[in-house]
Amino acid sequence: MAVYQDLILHITSDYFYIEPLANSKEILVIDRITQDVSLRANVEQIPVDATRKSICGIIGIIRLLAGPYLIVITNKTRVGDVNGNAIWRIVETDIIPYSRTLLHLTEEQIQDNKQYLSMIQFMLQVDYYYFSSTYDLTHTVQRLYNTTPEFLQMPLHERADQRFVWNGHLLREWAQQPELSQFCLPIVLGYISIRTCAINRKAFTWILISRRSCFRAGTRFFMRGLDSDGHSANFVETEQIIEYNNNKSSFVQTRGSIPLFWSQKPNLRYMPEPFISNTQNHVDGFSRHFDSQIYNYGKQVIINLINQKGRELKLETALSDVVKTSNNAFVKYVAFDFHSECKNMQWHRLSLLLDQKLGILMDGQQLEDQNIFEAIYKNVWADNADICSIQYAGTGALKTDFTRTGKRTRLGMARDGINSLIRYYKNNFADGFRQDAIDLILGNYTVGDNENLTKSSPLQEKKDWKYLALPMIALMALAMCFFQMLIPAEYTTETLLSLLFWFSMVVASIAVIFHYGPEYVDEPKLCETHHKKKD
pLDDT given for residue 451 in this prediction: 61
The DSSP bridge pattern shows strands 300-304 and 331-335 to be parallel
DSSP label at 519?
Answer: G
CA distances from 19 to 29, 60, 180, 230, 338 (A): 9, 16, 13, 42, 54
Contact status, residue 528 vs residue 222, Cβ threshold 8 Å:
no
pLDDT given for residue 456 in this prediction: 67
What is the C-alpha to C-alpha distance for residues 123 and 456, in angstroms, rounded to an integer?
Answer: 25
How many other β-carbons are positioned within 10 Å of the β-carbon of residue 332?
13
User: Could you tell me the residue ranges of all domains in the chain?
Assistant: 258-364, 465-520
For the chain, the helix, strand and coil percentages under 3-state DSSP, each to the nearest 5: 40, 25, 35
pLDDT given for residue 503 in this prediction: 84
What is the C-alpha to C-alpha distance for residues 3 and 134, in angstroms, rounded to an integer?
Answer: 7
pLDDT given for residue 433 in this prediction: 95
What is the C-alpha to C-alpha distance for residues 153 and 89, in angstroms, rounded to an integer?
Answer: 24
User: Which residues are CB-contacts of 515 (< 8 A; sequence separation ≥ 6)?
Assistant: none
Backbone angles phi, psi at 285, to 5 degrees: -65, -45
User: Which residues are CB-contacts of 511 (< 8 A; sequence separation ≥ 6)?
Assistant: none
Q: What is the dihedral of CA 193, 194, 199, 204, to 10 degrees?
A: 150
What is the C-alpha to C-alpha distance for residues 261 and 413, in angstroms, rounded to an integer?
Answer: 33
Q: Per DSSP, which regions of 230-287 are E strands?
A: 236-244, 247-255, 262-263, 275-276
What is the C-alpha to C-alpha distance for residues 52 and 117, in angstroms, rounded to an integer?
Answer: 23
pLDDT given for residue 376 in this prediction: 86
pLDDT given for residue 530 in this prediction: 53
What is the C-alpha to C-alpha distance for residues 126 and 468, in angstroms, rounded to an integer?
Answer: 32
pLDDT given for residue 326 in this prediction: 95
Contact status, residue 62 vs residue 443, Cβ threshold 8 Å:
no
Q: How confident is the chain (535 residues) per 10-residue block, as mean pLDDT?
A: 91 95 87 94 83 96 96 97 96 96 91 96 94 96 90 93 97 94 97 88 87 96 95 96 84 94 93 93 97 94 82 90 95 72 44 44 54 84 92 88 81 90 92 96 84 66 69 80 73 80 85 85 80 44
Backbone angles phi, psi at 325, to 5 degrees: -65, -40
pLDDT given for residue 514 in this prediction: 85
What is the C-alpha to C-alpha distance for residues 248 and 215, in angstroms, rounded to an integer?
Answer: 29
Give the H or E element holding residue 436.
helix 431-442
The pTM is what? 0.89
Give the three-state DSSP class for 473.
helix
Residue 474's identity, in one-letter code, is A
Q: What is 298-313 written as a DSSP string?
A: SSEEEEE-S-SSGGGH
Distance between start and end Cα atoms, the chain: 48
